[in-house]
Structures are given as structure tokens and as C-alpha cells.
């Protein structure tokens, strides 16, 4: 991403950690697992975030106008053009297109369409905001914090305290406000930036025995589809009365809110939803609900930690001040922690969207979609090594839920069996209908392998083979069996048409031949499917993979983006699709394929940053780490850290100077830091492959390997130690800065490796 046109989008004193410390203060030593600010959020982009992978909450923390924006992964706008939301039926014209491309007509694919205009996938949007408005502000100091270990956002202003979290256990947004004399108005407010004209809004409230039940129904223009928000307010002390469209609370000592949103057709029974919310509170306090949620959230979040031996004084700074110190190791520690927290919080029903699980504006850039041709895999890149199977399961839910649509794409566009993934999806449809002349995304055939690779990594890490992944790989192999029918003069198979997202040859057009990503994906898919399915199919698929051509090295000594003679590279581009063989695949590496690795490194040197997209910089860093280039990793990180990409929420932007709210940098950065410290394949462990010199001391604990071991790595000026805790008995190659050897591992027996000094 993201060269396709942008949908209208918006313009762009100890830190918070565990709840066991007074006022959420940090322990004296160790990295911080939270962040804080000395003032409320003035923009929704700076609101602190909580989420459970279904519901999301953006918390401003303003005592006078306490707002929580509610989001949900299912909230995408109907577009009213359903007839265009199917893959184009082009299979009959495919042989003629292939003939023209093979004959040298490099613009032939520009007319391979059914003539439709560009149709974006449905746009993700916020639901509404809960509002608690008071006439006066409390006296006293102010502090807003988020605890990554619990997912709880807290705002303390004098004697007033507000606490918010989104429960993984109960799928509800919970808020509790306490103060000696709470007097405020409560409402559900759908008036958020970019809301379309013609929304049908119905609001109402009823009193209950101890508070009120508020409902908000919003119907999309020209559609029977709607969503409904429900908030149960339980008031302690004082009085509650109706104040349409909400309620007025006077003289209370505490207020607990439980909020849910549901997208639906027809009517939703508000009373039944309210009853279900009431049942959650029967015999349970706010702290009880928080404990139910934290049991799962904390376990996942704390599996992996990074300690860079940062200055304790810098660790104590608010996030906004740390962001002004881009070379601070405390900043890297906190961004690593925040990235894990936000990635986990955005993943459940689905993996993270371009904006994670959050937005405060209906006009979300690039529809707030799942952009499959780069961004989704970059955001989830740390899931396997970073011990977040919750993220991988969310990714799997998206993939397997759309496999039937992938089959439709294969049949309609290519006339084949099997499966072809789309480049964009809103989460509802996996059909390939988002394409144009300049971005012929319907020609991208590498997508299924690219999206299945994280699921294969998960299986290798855990020593399992998910039957769903096995079945999907077989579908992809069948596609290649039917699609790979053309050969070149040397008898190699030709991938035609072929597309390298979202680039084109300098002397050609967007639809080309033998894109490097397509070659790597086809080889990997066929060989991996064969490994999952021993037998006659496996023999046939391996034989097909062996007939694919090798990668090409161009006149500049670089791995060519298109392995077709005569096609020249366009170097200034944000995507690095042609280096798929380096990262995340292991096809090209410095150990087994040194000549190709050198060519890949040359391609990386020549690659420009184009529009300074955060995902481009961090993709560059991931590839550089695999190629053992610590200097290039550091430079790519610095481009992001120096570029003002992070809001004070520690959620990121797509462009420098916090332009366009986007989760790519926030979610991808932990993967970069892991890759420069520990890399693994089923048969190899690489320690400290690309550690920048300025990170001279630290510890990465709990990282997982693809041969079934957990690693605790500690490095510093006095020496480097790795503790390997295998769950499987195996032998792996060991690569360290001091040499190469082999490591014999026995399940359940820890190995301590003394790697000496760096």
C-alpha cells in the first residue's frame, strides 16, 4: 500500500504500568508497560486505546466532557453498488492476454478489465461516543494513563477518577467514574467527523432501579442495515432522571457504564441487550470484571518483553516528551511495548485493519480496510516469534472465512480451480473487485501464499499442522496447476500475467511477466502444500515448482523485480514485494544462497522511499535484518523515529508529521526489533544478526522459534547469553556473531549459550 487513491481522510511523574502500584506508578527499574500524559487528549488521534479484538475504545480523559469513542470490527458502510462487488469475469479473455504479453505487448493488461470504474471496499467507521458532561472541572493535578498489562485507561483529576477497559472475557466496554459529588449529563452521541448525511438516528433512554439504560439506533442511508449501541448506567448514590436523549445524574459517588454495539438488519431488542448487560454486573464489581478480562490479556501481553537498559529518568517521562527524543532507548522500549499492546488489542474477530481497531472519523483513509498486498502481513509480522497466537488466530479467521470468495476469484478471473486472494478486503467479502488500470490488483496471484505464510509460521512454531491451513494450501496449489501452462524458450514456466504490488517496470506497464514476488510465492506455495500433503499430489506439486524460472539479476547487480528479459526496474517505490524471498520467506538468505542474497542487498540499496510511507521504511528494515545489515536497519528505524510518525497515544501515522492515522508503524516496529536480535527457521537459529551499535545492552525474553523453543537473550559489554528452552527434540544450525555451529536440543532441557562479548 498505498498508491491507490486515498478516500477522504482527516488532516492530518512516573509512567503508567501495572495496577499494583500506587496511582499506577512504575516500579523503580525495568521497562515501562504503559504510557501517560499530563493532560487530556485534544484530538481523537491522541486518545488512549483499549480493545478486545471486537470492540474498541478511544478514551479522551477530559473531566468536563468525558468522551469514549466506540468502534467495532463489523462496522463498515454499505456502498449501494453490490453488482460491482464481484470479481470480473475475464477468464475467457485470458489466453489472448497471455499471447499478447508473451509476444512483447507490454501494455496488453491495461485493457484486461470489464470496464467498471474503481470501487473501494466498504469503509470502516466509528459507531458513536459515550459522553459524560459536567458543568465544572475538579480541582487538583491531572494524569491520563494506559496500562498495557491490563488494557485499562485511567484519568485522575483531583478527586475524580475515570477507568475504562474493553473486556476480552465479556465483550463489553466498561467504564467506572468516581468522585465525591458526581453531577453530569450522560448521552450516546453519533455526531462524529465525516458522518454521512441521511443517517437515520433514533435515541432513547429509560430509567432503571439504579440508573438508566440508553439506546442509539443508526440506520445507514438507503439501506436496511443498521447498528445499535446500548449503554447500561449503574449509579451509586445521588439521583438519576431522564434528560432526553440521555440522562442526568446528580450527587452520585460512582457511576459504572457497560456499553456494546451491534450491526444488524431489522430490529434489535434493547431490553434483552440491557438484561444481558445487567447480568454481567450481578454480584460482580468493576474490579471483578477487570480481573476476568486481565486473566487472558495480561498472559498474552507479558509472554515477550524487551529491556534496552534505558535511563530510568527517561522511562519516567510522558510519551509526548519521549517522542521528542528519537534516539532514546526508553522510547524504543515503550514503542515495542505499545506495539504489542495495540496489536493484541486490535486482534480477535479479525486481525488489525489499517487503523487497527480504531478510528474517530467516518472518512477513514483507504477505507480503513485490510490491505493484503503489504500492510496486513507487516502489522502481524511479530505474531509467531512474539508469542501472540491470538493475533495469528484472528488472521486465520479472516483468511478461512473468505476462502470461498477466493475460489470465486480464481474461477472468474483466471478460469482455474483453487484460490486467489484479493489485495483489499473490508472483512465481509474476499472478492477481488478493487482494481483499476493503474492498479490491476485483480492480476495479483501471490496473495494467497503471502496471507497463508503467517499460518505456516505458526504451525512450525507450535509443531502442529492446522488442517484448515493444509486445506487452503492445497487450494492454492491447485490454482497453480491450472494457471501455470505457458513456457518460455528454455522450457521454464511463465507467470503471465504477473503483478508486483503496486509497482510497474520502468519500460512497461502494470501487468507484466514473472514478477519476483509471484515466482517466490508460487514456489513456496507448491512446496509447502507438498509438505502438508505427502503422496501423489505432493510429487506433482514439487515437480511444478521445479519448472519455475530462477530469479534474475539485472545490469545493476540487483535482484530484478521482474525476471523477464528486457523489463527494467523502477527503484523509487514504497513496496519491496520483489524481496518476498528474503522476508518473510527463507528462499534467499546469506547462508544458503549468498549470491542471491548479495543481489537482494543491492536491490535494497537501490530502493527509494518514494512517499515516505511508514510501512515502506519498516519493510525495508525487516529485509535488511534478514540480510544482516545493522546499519540499514538502524537507518530505516531512524526514518520513522525522526519523522514524527507517532501520536501521543503511541498509535502511528502513515506519513511523516502524523499525517493519516494508521497502525502500520505501531504494529510492525516490534517485529523489526525482534528480527534484528533473533531469527529462526525450522532448522536454524540466528542470534544478533543485525543489532545496531547504539543498542549495546539489553534483554529480549520469551521470543519463540520455528523449531519449537523459547529464547531468552541477554547482551551487553560484559558478554552475551542465550537460554534456549526447547519443547521439541531437534538439531539446528546455530549462527552467532562469533561463528557457526550446531545445537542439539532435547525437549524440556534448557541450554545456556555463552556467546562471549560482541
DSSP string across 139-160: PS-EEEEEETTTTEEEEEETTE
CB 579 within 8 A of CB 559: yes
Instruction: Give the separation between CA 240 and CA 221, rounded to whole angstroms.
Output: 34
CB 511 within 8 A of CB 440: yes
Q: Looking at residues 581-603, what average pLDDT do you find?
A: 98
The model's confidence at residue 758, banded by pLDDT at 50, 70 and 90, is low
Query: Which range has the worst mean pLDDT, 165-169, 453-457, 714-718?
Result: 714-718
242: which 3 cell numbers?
431522564
The total number of residues written for the chain in this structure: 758
Q: Looking at residues 341-359, what average pLDDT do you find?
A: 98
Is it the case that residue 80 has pLDDT exceeding 80? no
The torsion angle over the Cα atoms of residues 728, 731, 736 and 739, rounded to 10 degrees, is: 160
Strand bridging mode 751-756 / 719-726: antiparallel
Is it the case that residue 381 has pLDDT exceeding 90? yes
- What is the CATH class of 22-76+125-311? mainly beta
Instruction: Give the separation between CA 454 and CA 582, rounded to whole angstroms.
Output: 15
**Residue of higher predicted confidence among 392 and 198:** 392
Residue 265 has a pLDDT of 87
Burial 220-229 (b: 16+ CB within 10 A, else e): beeeeebbbb
**Residue of higher predicted confidence among 386 and 79:** 386
CB 513 within 8 A of CB 497: yes
CB 97 within 8 A of CB 110: no
pLDDT digits (tens, 9 = 90+) for 93-110: 999 999 999 999 999 999
pLDDT digits (tens, 9 = 90+) for 131-175: 999 988 899 999 999 999 999 999 999 999 999 999 999 999 999
Plot region of 311 (φ>0 → left; ψ -120 to 50 → alpha; else → beta): beta
Residue 133 has a pLDDT of 97
217 Cβ neighbours under 8 A, 6+ residues apart? 200, 201, 202, 203, 226, 227, 228, 268
Residue 7 has a pLDDT of 35
pLDDT digits (tens, 9 = 90+) for 216-232: 999 999 899 999 999 99
Q: Looking at residues 541-561, what average pLDDT do you find?
A: 98
* Per-domain residue ranges of the chain: 22-76+125-311, 698-756
Contacts 24+ apart (CB under 8 A), 307-313: 307/30, 307/31, 307/333, 307/698, 307/699, 307/700, 307/701, 308/31, 308/332, 308/333, 308/695, 308/697, 308/698, 309/697, 309/698, 309/716, 310/31, 312/28, 312/29
Angstrom CA distances, 642 to 51, 158, 289, 313, 331, stand at 28, 36, 40, 21, 12
Is it the case that residue 366 has pLDDT exceeding 50? yes
Residue 741 has a pLDDT of 96
pLDDT digits (tens, 9 = 90+) for 236-285: 999 999 999 999 999 999 999 999 999 998 888 888 888 999 999 988 99
Is it the case that residue 118 has pLDDT exceeding 50? yes
Where are the extended beta strands (E) located within 606-729? 653-655, 659-661, 678-681, 684-687, 698-704, 709-716, 719-726
Is it the case that residue 29 has pLDDT exceeding 80? no
Burial 505-524 (b: 16+ CB within 10 A, else e): beebbbbbbbbbbbbbbbbb
Instruction: Give the separation between CA 229 and CA 446, rounded to whole angstroms.
Output: 40
Amino acid at each position: 500500500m498505498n498508491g491507490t487513491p486515498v478516500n477522504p481522510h482527516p488532516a492530518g511523574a512516573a509512567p503508567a504500568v501495572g495496577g499494583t502500584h500506587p496511582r499506577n506508578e512504575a516500579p523503580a527499574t525495568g521497562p515501562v508497560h504503559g504510557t501517560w500524559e499530563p493532560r487530556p487528549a485534544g484530538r481523537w488521534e491522541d486518545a488512549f486505546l483499549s480493545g478486545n479484538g471486537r470492540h474498541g475504545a478511544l478514551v479522551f480523559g477530559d473531566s468536563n466532557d468525558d468522551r469514549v469513542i466506540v468502534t467495532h470490527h463489523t462496522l463498515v458502510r454499505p456502498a449501494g453498488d453490490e453488482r460491482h462487488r464481484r470479481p470480473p469475469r475475464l477468464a475467457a479473455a485470458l489466453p489472448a492476454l497471455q499471447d499478447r504479453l508473451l509476444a512483447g505487448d507490454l501494455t496488453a493488461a491495461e485493457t484486461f478489465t470489464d470496464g467498471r470504474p474503481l470501487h473501494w471496499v466498504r469503509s470502516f467507521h466509528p459507531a458513536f461516543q459515550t459522553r459524560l458532561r459536567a458543568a465544572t472541572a475538579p480541582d487538583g493535578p491531572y494524569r491520563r494513563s494506559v496500562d498495557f498489562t491490563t488494557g485499562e485507561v485511567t484519568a485522575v483529576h483531583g478527586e475524580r477518577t475515570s477507568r475504562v477497559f474493553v473486556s476480552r472475557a465479556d465483550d463489553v466496554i466498561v467504564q467506572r467514574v468516581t468522585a465525591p459529588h458526581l453531577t453530569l449529563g450522560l448521552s450516546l452521541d453519533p455526531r462524529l467527523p465525516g458522518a454521512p448525511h441521511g443517517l437515520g438516528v433514533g435515541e432513547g433512554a429509560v430509567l432503571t432501579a439504579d440508573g438508566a439504560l440508553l439506546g442509539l439506533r443508526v440506520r445507514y442511508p438507503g439501506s436496511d442495515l443498521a447498528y445499535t449501541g446500548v449503554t447500561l448506567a449503574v449509579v451509586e448514590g445521588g439521583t438519576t432522571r431522564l434528560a432526553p436523549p440521555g440522562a442526568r445524574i446528580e450527587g452520585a459517588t460512582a457511576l459504572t457504564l457497560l456499553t456494546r454495539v451491534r450491526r444488524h438488519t431489522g430490529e434489535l431488542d434493547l431490553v434483552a441487550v440491557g438484561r444481558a448487560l445487567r447480568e454481567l454486573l450481578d454480584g460482580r464489581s468493576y474490579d471483578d470484571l477487570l480481573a476476568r478480562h486481565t486473566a487472558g490479556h495480561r498472559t498474552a501481553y507479558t509472554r515477550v518483553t524487551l529491556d534496552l537498559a534505558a535511563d530510568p529518568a527517561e522511562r519516567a517521562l510522558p510519551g509526548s516528551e519521549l517522542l521528542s527524543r528519537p534516539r532514546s532507548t526508553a522510547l524504543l522500549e515503550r514503542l515495542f511495548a505499545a506495539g504489542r499492546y495495540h496489536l493484541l488489542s486490535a486482534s480477535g474477530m479479525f486481525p488489525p485493519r489499517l487503523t487497527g481497531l480504531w478510528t474517530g472519523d467516518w472518512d477513514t483513509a483507504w477505507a480503513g480496510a485490510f490491505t493484503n498486498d503489504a500492510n496486513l502481513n507487516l502489522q502481524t509480522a511479530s505474531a509467531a516469534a512474539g508469542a501472540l497466537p491470538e493475533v495469528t488466530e484472528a488472521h486465520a479467521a479472516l483468511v478461512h472465512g473468505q476462502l470461498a470468495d477466493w475460489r470465486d476469484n480464481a474461477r472468474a478471473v483466471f478460469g482455474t480451480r483453487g484460490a486467489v486472494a484479493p489485495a483489499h478486503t473490508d472483512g465481509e467479502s474476499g472478492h477481488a473487485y478493487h482494481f483499476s488500470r493503474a492498479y490491476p490488483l485483480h492480476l495479483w496471484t501471490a496473495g494467497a501464499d503471502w496471507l497463508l505464510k503467517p499460518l505456516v509460521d505458526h504451525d512450525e512454531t507450535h509443531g502442529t499442522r492446522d488442517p484448515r491451513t493444509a486445506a487452503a494450501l492445497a487450494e492454492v496449489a491447485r490454482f497453480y496447476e491450472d494457471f501455470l501452462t505457458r513456457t518460455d524458450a528454455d522450457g521454464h514456466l511463465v507467470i503471465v500475467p504477473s503483478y508486483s504490488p503496486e509497482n510497474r517496470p520502468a519500460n512497461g506497464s502494470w501487468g507484466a511477466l514473472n514478477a519476483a514476488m509471484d515466482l517466490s510465492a508460487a514456489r513456496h506455495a507448491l512446496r509447502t502444500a507438498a509438505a502438508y500433503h505427502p503422496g501423489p499430489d505432493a510429487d506433482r506439486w514439487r515437480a511444478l515448482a521445479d519448472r519455475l524460472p530462477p530469479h534474475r539479476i539485472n545490469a545493476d547487480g540487483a535482484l530484478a523485480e521482474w525476471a523477464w528479459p528486457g523489463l527494467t526496474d523502477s527503484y523509487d517505490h514504497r513496496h519491496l514485494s520483489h524481496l518476498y524471498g528474503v522476508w518473510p520467506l527463507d528462499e534467499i538468505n546469506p547462508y544458503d544462497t549468498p549470491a542471491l542474497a548479495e543481489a537482494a542487498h543491492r536491490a535494497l540499496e537501490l530502493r527509494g522511499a518514494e512517499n515516505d510511507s511508514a510501512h515502506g521504511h519498516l519493510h525495508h528494515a525487516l529485509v535488511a535484518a534478514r540480510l544482516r545489515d545493522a546499519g540499514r536497519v538502524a537507518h530505516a528505524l531512524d526514518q520513522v523515529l525522526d519523522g514524527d510518525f507517532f501520536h501521543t497515544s503511541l498509535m502511528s501515522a502513515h506519513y511523516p508529521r502524523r499525517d493519516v492515522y494508521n497502525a502500520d508503524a505501531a504494529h510492525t516496529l516490534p517485529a523489526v526489533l525482534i528480527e534484528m536480535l533473533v531469527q529462526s527457521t525450522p532448522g536454524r537459529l540466528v542470534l544478533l544478526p543485525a543489532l545496531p551499535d547504539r543498542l549495546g545492552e539489553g534483554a529480549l525474553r520469551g521470543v519463540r522459534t520455528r523449531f519449537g523453543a523459547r529464547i531468552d537473550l541477554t547482551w551487553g559489554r560484559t558478554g552475551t547469553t542465550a537460554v534456549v528452552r526447547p519443547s521439541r527434540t531437534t538439531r539446528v544450525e546455530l549462527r552467532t556473531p562469533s561463528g557457526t555451529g550446531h545445537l542439539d536440543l532435547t525437549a524440556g532441557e534448557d541450554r545456556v549459550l555463552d556467546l562471549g562479548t560482541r
